[in-house]
Amino acid sequence: MHAISFDVAKLLAGGLVLASFLMIYQVRLLAMLNVLGGHAFILALAIAWQAHVQDAPELYITAAITLIFKAALLPEALRRIVIRLGIHREIENVTSLGAVMLAGVGLVALSLEVMLPVTARTDPLTRIDIALALSVVLLGLLMMVTRRNAVSQVAAFLSLENGIDLAAAGAEGMPLVVEISIAFSVLVAFLVVGVFLFRIRERFDTVDMRALDAFRGDRK
């Protein structure tokens, strides 16, 4: 294996983790959606690079699907939703961003610590990809947990899904059927969530999840 292919793969996977951090830090919705697009774009690059390294042409199709759907269509659609909801100027109130960022750093360290020994005997290319993919998944979860706005939770979920994609592409080359089905499931999830966002807004005049809590009587 060429050193350069290894380095590039590492760079792209690391870029994905960096993009996750950017998303966690970004409190303005439109900017965050831009970062989400960038996130998926880096993922598409990473998959394409895997296709090149593994000499697996079907991964190019995966990369293309990722580029079209996740990097272009989904953020754009979410942007339209945000604008139609009229919350594009809102600044989300996230408590103690610094602590969340520190926790994210801890999670990345943890996933490296867990994954590197487990995958010690596999291909180094796969190894670093899987470790960083786990970090992306954990960061996505962290973001879902810390955000209260429904749109940012959806974005966090999509970034989490990107992490899974990265791991799958790095491991063996993902079968196309799996990829297409995942793409469809994301699309369906997006549609359902989009509908729900409007329904929630209709009823509560906001997409802040705290309103739902209050409605259930959890918070007075």
Partner 1 sequence: MIAVLAGVLALLALGGVGMSRSRRASGIVYGVSLLLSSALGLVGLHALLAAGPETVALPLGLPWVGAHFRLDALAGFFLLIINLGGAAVSLYAIGHGRHEHDKARVLPFYPWFLAALDLVVIADDAFTFLFAWELMSLVSWALVLAHHRAPGTLRAGYVYLVMASLSGLVLLLAFGLLAGANGGYAFALMRTTRPTPGIAGLALMLALIGTGAKAGLVPLHVWLPLAHPAAPSHVSALMSGVMTKVAVYAFVRIAFDLLGPPPAWSAVIVLLLGGASACLGILYALMESDLKRLLAYSTVENVGIVFIGVGLAMAFQASGFALGAALALTAALFHVFNHAIIKTLLFCGAGAVLSATGERDMDRLGGLIHRLPQTSVAMLIACAAIAALPPLNGFVSEWLTFQAILLRPALPQWGLKLMIPADGALLALAAALTAACFVKLFGIAFLGRPRSDAAREAHELDRFSRAAMLGLAAISLLVGIFPGVLVDVLAPVMREMFGARLAAQTPLPWLSLIPVAASRSSYNGLLVFLFIAFSTAATILAIHRVTSRSARRAPAWDCGFPDASAITQYSGASFAQPLRRVFAATLFGARETVTLPPPGDMAPARIEKALPDPIWDRLYAPFERLIGRLADFLNPLQFLTIRRYLVFVFLALVSLLLALALSQ
Complex with partner 1: residue 50 or 111, whichever CB lies closer: 111
Q: For the CB of residue 179, give the shortest distance to partner 1 in the complex, in Å.
A: 24
By CB under 8 A, name the one of 97, 102, 110, 191 that touches partner 1. Answer: 110
Asked if residue 121 binds partner 1 (CB under 8 A), the reply is no
Between CA 107 and CA 186, with CA 38 as vertex, the angle to 5 degrees is 80
Complex with partner 1: residue 102 or 110, whichever CB lies closer: 110
CB 48 within 8 A of CB 9: no
Q: For the CB of residue 143, give the shortest distance to partner 1 in the complex, in Å.
A: 10
By CB under 8 A, name the one of 9, 19, 53, 107 that touches partner 1. Answer: 107
Asked if residue 212 binds partner 1 (CB under 8 A), the reply is yes
- List the end-to-end C-alpha distance of the chain, in Å, as a whole number: 61
Asked if residue 142 binds partner 1 (CB under 8 A), the reply is yes
Asked if residue 144 binds partner 1 (CB under 8 A), the reply is yes
State residue 2 phi and psi, 5-degree precision.
-75, 145
Asked if residue 148 binds partner 1 (CB under 8 A), the reply is yes
By CB under 8 A, name the one of 95, 121, 205, 216 that touches partner 1. Answer: 216
Q: How many CB atoms lie within 10 A of CB 13?
A: 28
Residue appearing with tokens 């060429």: 2
Complex with partner 1: residue 59 or 142, whichever CB lies closer: 142
Which stretch in 22-30, 54-62, 68-76, 107-115 sits in contact with partner 1 by CB under 8 A?
A: 107-115
Which two tokens mark 132? 């960083």
**Among candidates 166, 154, 145, which has minimal Cα distance to 190?**
154
Q: For the CB of residue 148, give the shortest distance to partner 1 in the complex, in Å.
A: 7
CB 209 within 8 A of CB 148: yes
Tally: H helices and E strands in the chain: 9, 0
CA-based torsion, 129, 135, 139, 141: positive or negative:
positive
**Radius of gyration (Cα) for the chain, nearest Å?**
18
Complex with partner 1: residue 30 or 141, whichever CB lies closer: 141
Asked if residue 138 binds partner 1 (CB under 8 A), the reply is yes
Between CA 10 and CA 12, with CA 11 as vertex, the angle to 5 degrees is 95
Interacting residues toward partner 1 by CB under 8 A: 107, 110-111, 113-114, 117-118, 138, 141-142, 144-145, 148, 209, 212-213, 216, 218
